[in-house]
Structure 1
Amino acid sequence: MKAYIAAPLFNDAEKAFNLTVDEAVRGAGFGTFLPQRDGGEAAPLVRMGMNEHEVRRRLFDLDTAAVAECAVLVMVVDGRVPDEGACVELGMAHALGKVCVGLQTDSRRFGGTDSNNLMVDYALTGGMVRTLPDLTALLRDVFRTLAGT
């Protein structure tokens, strides 16, 4: 069973954290699709001389196919606002009936409350956690449920 990790990947800190999230998800028993590792990043590929439109289209197609094939989507909701690409991936996964789980270690929230934008909060049908150990525990339960054990 695979989990898709939807997260920002625009600086070294985000990419390093995503690798840590990937370890936690794998620790719960899932295989993973991590876009920065399994698809690639557009900017470095374009800097290497590849056609920008072709790179962006290939990554879009690859990521949307991976969302469709996953059993679970794990979204990193950290940041001043959630990453817009991750929001689109969450919307697709939710529309496809996938289990969607959020991880938000960041204390910033929508409107200063303990909530995010309602379109994010209510699409996270599998729940929201605040720590990596809690993510692993939640995903172990999700894995058991999906596996029927």
Structure 2
Amino acid sequence: MYVKTVIYPAAALFNGRETYFNSVLVEKLEKWGYGTNFPQRDGFEFGNLKEALSGMVPDDQINSAVSTVIYYLDMGVLLTGSDVILANLDEPLDEGMVVEASYGKLMGKFVVGIRTDIRSPYGRPDDDYGAMHFFPAFQTHRFISHYMPSRTPEERDTQIEDLALKIHDTIMEAKVSHQETIPDYATDNPNLKPVFEGAEILFHDIDDIHSPSGLKKIASRYINNKNKLEKIMPKYIPKDK
């Protein structure tokens, strides 16, 4: 039985320009037959998660709790359940994307970097990787540079189609297929293992994590396992210390 190869689009999603580009590219990739774990669609809406935790967590700890739950969902469920990490390397580089690409590579995922940006903060546009910082670029297995001036609607549509085709051809050339399990070297990694365990604690056997009942279960599980779940988080040191 054929199982779709699943793509995780790792990208900034904090304004209309970013979310529009992400959604259009995902639409094109899904038309090519890919499954996607799309954070801006499949992740949590901050307000709903805050509401579920309200009254169960002290007000001054709610933001920290929301961040913790979202981290486990993205890193332990959406990223883990994907086969390809599609890292948007346009400027300014998104910090979350860099972490997701790096962790994805450690998990044995196939990481494809895409860059449409003509800005060259670390050299000349014709340098390797478009003169972006080479450290994030080195977290990818393939690097796609794609110019998108989009001067007309017709040109825009052609250029986004061409980008989706480049991504598809890259995945096909690398013979990436769906993996049901994470490799042992990843599950045994002491830095990754707590992520998998935390995601299992929070989300196991919840059919719809976005439903009111699903959110309530997640909030309850967070409260009951708070100390364990927060072990992977940095210890906060107040400014006056």
Whether the TM-score (by the shorter chain) exceeds 0.5 is yes
1:58 CA displacement:
1.2
1:19 CA displacement:
0.4
**% identical aligned pairs:** 27
Please, what TM-score do these two structures have when normalized by structure 1? 0.83
1:35 paired with 2:17, answer no
Q: What is the distance in 1 between the residues matched to 2:17 and 2:163? A: 19
1:37 CA displacement:
0.9
Q: What is the distance in 2 between the residues matched to 1:41 and 1:77? A: 24
1:70 paired with 2:70, answer no
The 3 A distance-change label for structure 1 pair 2 and 63 is: same
Aligned residue among 2, 16, 21 for 2:20:
16
Partner of 1:100: 111
Code of the aligned partner of 1:119: F
Code of the aligned partner of 1:146: V
Aligned length: 146
1:129 CA displacement:
3.2
Gaps of at least 5 residues in structure 1 are: none
1:59 paired with 2:105, answer no
Q: What is the distance in 1 between the residues matched to 2:119 and 2:135? A: 17
Gaps of at least 5 residues in structure 2 are: 54-61, 125-129, 147-158, 179-241
1:123 paired with 2:153, answer no
Partner of 2:183: none
RMSD over equivalenced CA pairs, Å:
2.4
Please, what TM-score do these two structures have when normalized by structure 2? 0.54
More strand by share: 1
Q: Which moved more, 1:103-112 or 1:138-147?
A: 138-147
Larger radius of gyration: 2
The 3 A distance-change label for structure 1 pair 54 and 74 is: same
1:81-96 alignment to 2 at 5 Å? 81-96=92-107
Partner of 2:196: none
Q: What is the distance in 2 between the residues matched to 1:103 and 1:137? A: 12
Partner of 1:137: 165
Code of the aligned partner of 1:74: L
Once the two structures are superposed, residues 86-114 of structure 1 have per-residue CA deviations (whole angstroms, 9 ceiling, x without a partner) of: 11001111112211112222211231322
Q: What is the distance in 1 between the residues matched to 2:172 and 2:19? A: 25
1:138 CA displacement:
2.9
Would the aligned equivalents of 1:129 and 1:135 in 2 still touch at CA under 8 Å? no
1:133 CA displacement:
3.0
